[in-house]
Amino acid sequence: MKRTIIASVLAVALVVPAGVLAHGDKHHDKQEDRADVGHEGALGRPGDPGKVTRNVEVEMSDAMRFNPESIRVKRGETIRFIVKNTGKLQHEMVLGTIMELKEHAELMRKFPEMEHADPNQVSVEPGKTGELIWQFTNAGTFDFACLVPGHFEAGMVGKVHVGRAAGTDPADSGQAMTEGLVKKVDKTAGKVTLSHEPIANLGMPKMTMIFRVIDPEMLNRLKEGDRIRFVADKVNGAFTVMEFEPAE
Ligand SMILES: [Cu+2]
Distance 183 CA to ligand 1 centre (A): 41
Residue where a domain stops, chosen among 163, 194, 214: 163
Across residues 24-45, what is the average pLDDT?
Answer: 48
Distance 156 CA to ligand 1 centre (A): 6
Bigger pLDDT: 27 or 93? 93
- State the CATH number of the domain containing residue 185: 2.40.50.320
Distance 103 CA to ligand 1 centre (A): 16
Give CA–CA dist 178/248, Å, rounded. Answer: 13
Q: Is the pLDDT of residue 228 over 90?
A: yes
Give CA–CA dist 41/45, Å, rounded. Answer: 6
Segment 145-191, tens digit of pLDDT: 999 989 999 999 999 988 865 444 444 444 578 999 999 999 999 99
Residues 102 and 196 in one domain: no
Distance 91 CA to ligand 1 centre (A): 4
Residue 239, strand partner residues: 234
Angle at 214 between CA 63 and CA 175, to 5 degrees: 95
Distance 90 CA to ligand 1 centre (A): 6
- Residue 41: the pLDDT is 65
Q: Is the pLDDT of residue 16 over 60?
A: no
Q: Where is 234: in which H helix or E strand?
A: strand 227-235
Q: Is the pLDDT of residue 86 over 70?
A: yes
Q: Which domain holds residue 194?
A: 178-246
The overall average pLDDT reported for the chain is 80
Residues 88 and 203 in one domain: no
Residues 14 and 40 in one domain: yes
Distance 208 CA to ligand 1 centre (A): 36
Residue where a domain stops, chosen among 119, 136, 163: 163
Q: Is the pLDDT of residue 32 over 50?
A: no
171 in any annotated domain: no
Segment 92-119, tens digit of pLDDT: 999 998 888 888 888 888 887 777 678 8
Give CA–CA dist 94/121, Å, rounded. Answer: 4
Distance 194 CA to ligand 1 centre (A): 36
Q: Where is 186: in which H helix or E strand?
A: strand 178-186
Distance 30 CA to ligand 1 centre (A): 29
- Residue 165: the pLDDT is 58
Taking the model in full, what pTM does it have? 0.55
Residues 26 and 146 in one domain: yes
Distance 27 CA to ligand 1 centre (A): 24
Residues 58 and 159 in one domain: yes
Q: Is the pLDDT of residue 38 over 50?
A: no
